[in-house]
Structure 1
Amino acid sequence: MANSLRASTQGLEIVDRARQRRGWTKTSTARWWQDAHTSRATLRRFWQGERIQQDIFIAICQAVGISNWQAITAANEVPDSPTPRFHWDEAPDLENFYGRHEELDQLEQWIINDRCKLVVIVGLAGIGKTSLALALSDHIQQKFEKIIWKSLQTPRPLISLLDSLLNTLDNPTAAQIEQGIIQLLDYLQKHRCLLILDGWETTLEAEQKPTYHQFLQRLSHARHQSCLLITSREKPSVIEIETKARCLSLKGLQAADALMLLKAAGFNGQELGLSALIKIYRGNPLALKMVTPLIQSLFGGNVSAFLSQNTWVVGELLRNIFQQQFERLSCLERDLLYWLAIWQEPVSLCRLQSYLLPSTDPCEVLEAIVALERRSLLEKWWSDEQPSFTLQPLLMKIVKDKLVEQAAAEISQVLQTNDLRYFNVLRTHCLLRPGTDVFVGDYLLSRLREQLWRVYGPELQQILERLLGQLQGKKPLLIGYIACNLVFISKQF
């Protein structure tokens, strides 16, 4: 091909170091091919050592700051391995990617060296699961004949997913789920494929869960030479019983990598408070990206001024995602989240259970804690070899707001119906953090009082007294924490 070039092995290493400095992936960062005025497919051909047009070759090098493009070219080198076939129409573009070297090494070890059939990347919303999966597939692409990316972010029936996969593999579509699984397994036995399913948590809806659970069991247990990589906010139960299955619980970015992200977002890296900002948001990439424009627009880039507000900006996207998770929790799991929000600090399982109302079987509490951990909603701390649990700061903010909203709604319902049975959270949870008697300034009580005052105004005090009067003579089990909470709210005046 006249006026075309291809990269040498050594040249690709130079480009690889240059793109890492910019926080770009090999083929998923849209800005790269946009700056080079080309396409993702052409960028992928560049990385595979194929010949591309000379002007595009030069533009790809210059986009990552390499002016000496001649040092990247190869004269007569032959590509080391066959070119894999990509089916990435459903894969998102990636803005940037920082760090995660240990995670990439661990995932590569499981998939390439240990030949695991099922690998799960699990973590809180916005933590970077999809970005890590994209970077990993870039990193190990030459080890597979085919790489297939399917998005489950929008729920779809299993038969629809199977038809899409079989069409991608040029196989006839299946009329039934069992037939489709057999056809897919037959292909995965004959070919070394990396199948990526992004957003597995949508399959955990009640109507989807049984069929997808069966699908996951079959693919992780059957004999084949391929790997299924899934990302999810919740860990599938099958991961616990399969010997060729592994799970990576993804945490936030390390401080240095998070700082690179913030610098790419417009900070110079010298601003006071950046380390505290990273710590508060636990290095969550999406949360940091969402709060950055607010700091820059409202506070002129003054991070310390933002932190002095002593609040966390969550963002509508993360709030909506959590709301979806919250709706799938059991009553006990929700109660535990509310109590952890009230405590505001790590609390042991034994101490937490002593405040539950009504008293709950310890086995049920333990199972609920495990379920919340599976959903990436808890932080675990160790003291004297005993685990304590708390919420991540982002979730702490969301759960507190949810608790205030629920408490206010219960008071409104009781006033409208004169039925004390509408007291639920206020009956089972003491809003004042255990071990303290500081009423004024308590976050939950102050927020609840403010919300009630906006509705009832100066009459609020009389309303609280009337509700307390209705509790007179009622059984302790019915009253629970209601009286205490109403007194605590009135103490805010």
Structure 2
Amino acid sequence: MSNSLKASTAGLAIVDKSRQRLGWTKTSTARWWQDAHTSRATLRRFWQGDRIQREIFIAICQAVGIGNWEAIAELSNADLESTVVIPTPYLDCNEAPDLESFYGRNQELAQLEEWLTSQNCKLVTINGIAGIGKTALALALVDRIQLKFDCLIWKSLQTSPSLISLLNSLLNSFEQGVVVQNIQQGTAQLIQQLQKHHCLLILDGLEAIFSQPEDLSYGQFIQQLSRERHQSCILISSREQPNNIETNTKIYHCLNLKGLPKTEAVELLQSRGFTGKELGLSVLIQLYRGNPLVLKLVTPLIQSVFGGNVAAFLSQHTLIVGDRLRVILKQQFEQLSGLEQDILYWLAIWQEPVSFSRLQTHLLISVDPAMVLEGIVALERRSLLEKWVSDYELSFTLQPLVMKVVTDELIEHTVQEIDRVVQSHDIRHFQILRTHWLLRPGTDDIAGDRILTQLWKKLWHLYGATLPQIFNQILLLLKSQSPLAMGYIGSNVAILSGIDLL
């Protein structure tokens, strides 16, 4: 009996269904090849129909719960001898991360495959908020379409490499020892390689270079790759959509990735120990907008602190963001312009969809409507806004996760402003309190207003029983100030001084 085996077409279909039930990808789920005591490269060969060592073949089947490996193998020696060998694509995926699990996304995968293989788009981007699954989707897509390319290269931009460094890395994927000294030369040589080969090039995490000195160079580089004649495709994942590239053209398409639908989110939660029938599960999924990363982060807490009682967790009216996601969203917030931050602050205060016209009327200083529109477009491009369409006009709000982080930033910066004014007796340190009216419209119970009460508690923790004197001190500083200089300061301080939570 031969010491090597290969999978039949029917056998691969059986394995495919088994791995889907587990939420595993074909080659990016590390647990699969680890459980089979093999490597990702061998797992790829298994899927390509290559012959692999008998023991490893059996272990790969058993790892996904298939004990009857004979049903998977192609055992006819005659067939084995006459089988046409399928060319194996060149793969440089050393920078591709491992993937724990993957659920659903069939519609998105089909759309991406259509753009990259049938329509031969030169540039496709996957955009979406942090944690939504952009990289996971790209990995699943690679599993699905890699045999349709003769070359596949995955490069991570999370370390913010210089463009010249990236170009040298890409060129060495084609030919070892290549070193270029300038961007123009490197780009020209890369385009030559993309003309020679039908290549799928994945650039993962493009947002890492935004606001960096390399930002402009990268933008020009991507535009040039999308415009030049070649037979390859570039797939980009990013929290932000690249600037100055027209979407939905023959050469460029953009997929704005949303959260998992309920059915697929339930499958993910079931893989984390839930039955799928828990009370409040649908509310939990909607609260986190089906964000896979956040659902994975919150489930251990629900299980350990609330004994798996989802309804009990929801009754706390709290939102768990997680340190990793909080840092990402905070960094993204800090990179915004002043106007963009102001817009997010207003949306966090109102906690409901707000129309453009309503937003425009609340800005303290009159701003050109075109600038406000540009700010909204920029925030939408960064996946920070949610659109709401009514019968009357378009409105905007924040995803709950973004709402939480922006609210925390608003409170933290406001406390810092007040402390600077108290120390310096100079109201010019006021920014947020001057430009934003913190009371949510329609609020009857001021002590129940989330932002005001959280702000008051932080101030009480800082000043204790002297807090009323602090408020009076600030109000005295406002005397004889012009309405423009005061803005909303007086109103905000007055309402804060009227809160009594003790």
TM-score bracket, normalised by the shorter chain, equals over 0.9
Q: Which residue of 126, 129, 145 maps to 1:124?
A: 129
The range that moved more, 117-126 or 71-80, is 71-80
Q: Out of 462, 475, 491, which is 1:484 matched to?
A: 491
| Equivalent residue number for residue 198 of structure 1 | 204
Aligned twin of 1:145: 150
Q: Which amino acid aligns with 1:413?
A: R
Post-superposition shift, 1:266?
Answer: 1.4
Provide the residue aligned with 2:165 in structure 1.
Answer: 160
- Structure 2 stretches lacking a partner, 5+ long: none
1:93-146 Cα shifts (integer Å, max 9, x gaps): 000000000000000010000000000000000000000000000000110011
1:421-458 alpha-carbon deviations (Å, 9 max, x no partner): 00000000011012334311100000000000001001
| Counterpart Cα distance in 2 of 1:295 and 1:488 | 36
Matched, 1:431 2:428: no
Cα distance in 1 for residues equivalent to 2:324 and 2:34: 27
Q: Distance between the aligned counterparts of 1:454 and 1:203, measured in 2?
A: 39
Cα deviation, residue 210, structure 1: 1.3
Residues 1:13 and 2:13 are matched in the alignment: yes
Q: 1:21, CA displacement in angstroms?
A: 1.1
Query: What CA distance in whole angstroms lies between the structure 2 residues aligned with 1:79 and 1:256?
Result: 40
- Is 2:85 aligned against 1:85? no
The TM-score normalised by the length of structure 1 is 0.98
Aligned to 1:448: 455
Alpha-carbon distance between aligned partners in 2 of 1:192 and 1:315, rounded to the nearest angstrom: 41
Count, aligned residues: 493
Q: 2:264 aligns with which of 251, 254, 257?
A: 257
CA contact (8 A) 2:36 2:60 kept: yes
Which residue pairs with 2:245 in the alignment? 239
More displaced 10-residue stretch of structure 1: 265-274 or 134-143: 265-274
CA contact (8 A) 1:86 1:148 kept: yes
Which whole-Å CA distance do the structure 2 matches of 1:180 and 1:173 have between them? 8
- What is the Cα deviation at residue 41 of structure 1? 0.8
Partner Cα separation in structure 1 for residue 179 and residue 16 of structure 2: 39
The answer for the alignment partner of 2:112 in structure 1 is 107
Q: Residue 239 of structure 1: CA displacement?
A: 3.1
Task: Give me the whole-angstrom Cα distance separating, in 2, the residues matched to 1:488 and 1:314.
Answer: 29
| 1:48–1:79 contact (8 Å) kept in structure 2 | no
Which residue of the other structure, out of 356, 370, 378, is the alignment partner of 1:371? Answer: 378
Are 1:384 and 2:391 counterparts? yes
1:284 aligns with 2:291: yes
Q: Quick one: distance in 1 between partners of 2:485 and 2:462?
A: 26
Is contact 1:216–1:238 with CA below 8 Å preserved after alignment?
no
SS across alignment from 1:49: coil
CA contact (8 A) 2:425 2:477 kept: no
- Residue equivalent to 1:219: 225
% identical aligned pairs: 61
1:468: which partner in 2?
475
Q: Residues 157 and 204 of structure 2 are in contact (CA less than 8 Å); yes or no, is this contact kept in structure 1? A: yes
In structure 2, how many angstroms separate the alpha carbons of the residues matched to 1:31 and 1:385? 51
* Contact 1:29-1:95 within 8 A present in 2 as well: yes
CA distance in 1, matches of 2:293, 2:442: 35
Deviation at 1:154, TM superposition (A): 0.9
Q: Is the contact between residue 8 and residue 49 of structure 2 (CA under 8 Å) also seen in structure 1?
A: yes
Distance 1:208 1:491 in 2: 50
TM-score, length-scaled by structure 2:
0.96
Does residue 406 of the first structure (1) align with residue 416 of the second (2)? Answer: no
Q: Aligned partners of 1:238, 1:105: CA distance in 2, in Å?
A: 27
Residues 382 and 388, structure 1, Cα contact 8 Å, conserved in 2: yes
Amino acid at match of 1:59: A
